[in-house]
Structure 1
Amino acid sequence: MPLVSPRTLLTAAAATVATLTTLAPAPAAASPHTYRVIDLGTLSGGDGAATAMNDRGDIVGWSTVASGARHAVLWRHGVITDLGVLPGDTDSTAVDVNEFGDVAITSFGTDYLTRAVLWRDGHLLDLGTLGGENSVAIGVNDRRQVLGTSEPGGDMPHRFLWRNGVFTDLGREYFYEFTSDFNNSGDVVGGFNVPPQDYPCTCVGGRLRDGVFTQIGGEALGVNNRGQVVGSADGRAFRWQNGTLTDLGTLGGSWSRATAINDRGVVVGLSTTTSQWHPFLWRNGVMTDLTTRGVLVTDTIEDINIRGQLVGARANRPVLFR
């Protein structure tokens, strides 16, 4: 992938941004099965959360140990594995897992320095940096690429792709920008500061594909392997594909936000009702309030796989919703 500065990408985007369709509300009722809530178990500290899962059912996240430190963990076939920390560090958290079982981790210690790490076949691999002191892992795909951020020496953080020891620099992640997700094609989504790049940020959701930026709008929070992007625009959850932005509706309130999408196009997120925020699932044009299907208002939902299983946390415990 050629190195292209974000300013060049964002300037070129004006001529390539797809026309967005008028938002049209979706229905707000459906009847999926009630979820069975499974506590995944923790290490000796007792607290934890699940952050991501693959389609095989591997789940990753973090759990506290007896000292109170957090360690990255993997749950597989009902067994929890402590993935550890880099030498000299005290804490780590796992953020993603691919279909090979590779786990993307960020490890850190009392010096507040962070390192992107890949756990593969029982071993932790320090991915290094772009020249500075820090790197952070965001995801890992089935091409065994790791998405993350790292600062070159003396510069602000850059987005990067890492594979087999080789970094591809995707350009600066400017102040107030963010990087949220990517897919097997290497599409990267997040928030980008577009021209005129006013302070603090004229930020919009967008996608980087092979060095080309496409503006989506709002905030882009997740992407699947079909290239469908989810997020929130003008306070409403959306799903975007090939220039078409679909409003997913709400649960009766004014606001909603989509946070994750699987390869079947099923979306999870949060929406206001007439009184408070509730977790939702959106499928085939219909939004369902998950609190009517065994999920609590206080539960967090972090990911959904192709089988429709959900992972997250309940009362500081890692859980699977199946």
Structure 2
Amino acid sequence: MIIRFTSKNLTILASALLMASAGQTLGASPAAADECPTATDRWEAVDLGVTGGALDINDLGQIAGFSRSETRETRAIVWDDGETIDVGTLGGPRGDASGIDEEGHVVGSSYTESEKGHAFLWREGTMQDLGNFGGLAFPRDVSQGAIVGEYSTFLPGHIRVRQAFVIRNGVKTDLDLVAGSEATGINTAGQIAGTHRRTERAGLPANQLTQRAFLWENGTVTELGTLGGIWSEANGLNNQGQVVGQSALDADGVLQAGFVWNPETGMRRLEDGGGVARPKAINDGDVIVGTHTCDTASGTARAAVWTDPSQAPALLPDPAGGTATAANAINVHGEIAGNAMYPEGQQHAVLWRPVAGD
């Protein structure tokens, strides 16, 4: 079981501490903390016309994600050259597509008629059930047909344990890590980024179950460190081996910031302008996308883009009628996949595309 100190379980604590510190604890001046990043006009937002979300995009502009019906059932979706392709499910009521590579391999998780948490591989209209590995399987990314993710099993006492895996040529292999790991990205060189717990669970208090972002290559695991706190997690990886994610800033693990890591410079903090940066992906041009929360009192996040990690992000424009946006993936052309919330409470899939001439 990985202890995830991220937005969902730390919003209240982080908001209170950030407001009390007036930005100084996060290394920002009071003036910077009082100002939110400005919206950029270098991208335009396009509502993809589906209630759901866009989770990944390849360099061909093909997008993987999901649709959600009025009865809350979900189906895996691919958008390709203006066409919406219903990938579907493995027979059950829920499914989503979380990754797509340049060859059009699509991976995700789906219910079957009798079980949940089955991994699938879809290509050219054919969906293959990869199983649930004795628990619940969650593929996260795919590159040249190689799939990474994690599966969960349950110990007595309802203790959930995650294990990172890679599937190559139809063969699943668990990554050689302490039990309690997940893999979130794989690149064309076969490098894998993810997060793992550093110690076994037995007998340790919760604050010692620390986790670290890692980069796996040819069986060797490199821990990426932290920004001074007790945990870090990896969210995205590009083909140059650069990793983006989040890290704690203090011993309590509450205050957090975004980072970018590469082998030459190690882990660097993303400039956040006094807010909270949550990077999700980095493309091969070193452009980073994710979310930025400036109004820590409300906790409302906005989709954001960093064209330089040493400069504050720019906010991506809201689609017409939409707000509370999130950017989940970016391709080499600067096309960004994500989602936005609308007043009626529905989430829509969104594409941000560079404005012609930029």
Q: What band does the TM-score fall into relative to the shorter chain?
A: 0.7 to 0.9
Matched, 1:208 2:216: yes
SS in structure 2 at match of 1:100:
coil
Q: Which residue of structure 2 aligns with residue 259 of structure 1?
A: 280
> What CA distance in whole angstroms lies between the structure 1 residues aligned with 2:79 and 2:73?
18
Q: Which residue of structure 2 aligns with residue 128 of structure 1?
A: 131
SS in structure 2 at match of 1:286:
coil
Of 71, 83, 105, the residue aligned with 2:87 is 83
Residues matched between the structures, number? 289
Relative to 1, partners in 2 of residues 1:211 and 1:105: Cα closer, same or farther, differing over 3 Å?
A: same
| Counterpart code for 1:237 | G
The correspondence of residues 4-15 of structure 1 with structure 2, limited to 5 A, is none
Relative to 1, partners in 2 of residues 1:150 and 1:250: Cα closer, same or farther, differing over 3 Å?
A: closer
SS in structure 2 at match of 1:56:
coil
Q: CA deviation at 1:123?
A: 0.1
Matched, 1:161 2:158: no
| Counterpart code for 1:90 | P
Relative to 1, partners in 2 of residues 1:321 and 1:66: Cα closer, same or farther, differing over 3 Å?
A: same
8 Å CA contact 2:302–2:326 kept in 1: the answer is: no
Q: Which residue of structure 1 aligns with residue 77 of structure 2?
A: 73
Alpha-carbon displacement from aligned partner over 1:178-213 (angstroms, at most 9, x marks no partner): 432222222222221224864432212222222211
Unmatched tracts of structure 1, length 5 or more: 1-22
> What CA distance in whole angstroms lies between the structure 1 residues aligned with 2:182 and 2:150?
10
Q: CA deviation at 1:65?
A: 4.1
> What CA distance in whole angstroms lies between the structure 1 residues aligned with 2:245 and 2:39?
23
Q: Which residue of structure 1 aligns with residue 150 of structure 2?
A: 149
8 Å CA contact 1:251–1:271 kept in 2: the answer is: no
Range that drifts further, 62-71 or 191-200: 191-200
Q: Which residue of structure 2 aligns with residue 15 of structure 1?
A: none
SS in structure 2 at match of 1:138:
strand
Q: Which residue of structure 1 aligns with residue 344 of structure 2?
A: none
| Counterpart code for 1:281 | V
Q: TM-score, normalised by structure 1?
A: 0.79
> What CA distance in whole angstroms lies between the structure 1 residues aligned with 2:179 and 2:210?
11
Alpha-carbon displacement from aligned partner over 1:4-59 (angstroms, at most 9, x marks no partner): xxxxxxxxxxxxxxxxxxx998x9979954422212123xxxx2111111011001
Relative to 1, partners in 2 of residues 1:286 and 1:70: Cα closer, same or farther, differing over 3 Å?
A: same
8 Å CA contact 1:156–1:172 kept in 2: the answer is: no
Q: Which residue of structure 2 aligns with residue 290 of structure 1?
A: 315
RMSD across aligned positions (CA) = 3.0
> What CA distance in whole angstroms lies between the structure 2 residues aligned with 1:321 and 1:282?
14
> What CA distance in whole angstroms lies between the structure 1 residues aligned with 2:70 and 2:151?
31
Identity, % of aligned pairs?
28
The correspondence of residues 110-259 of structure 1 with structure 2, limited to 5 A, is 111-130=114-133, 132-142=134-144, 144-150=145-151, 156-171=161-176, 174-175=179-180, 177-195=181-199, 198-200=204-206, 201-217=209-225, 218-233=232-247, 234=249, 235-242=256-263, 244-253=266-275, 255-259=276-280
SS in structure 1 at match of 2:324:
coil
Q: CA deviation at 1:61?
A: 0.5
Unmatched tracts of structure 2, length 5 or more: 1-25, 226-231, 250-255, 342-346, 354-358
8 Å CA contact 2:242–2:262 kept in 1: the answer is: yes
Q: TM-score, normalised by structure 2?
A: 0.72
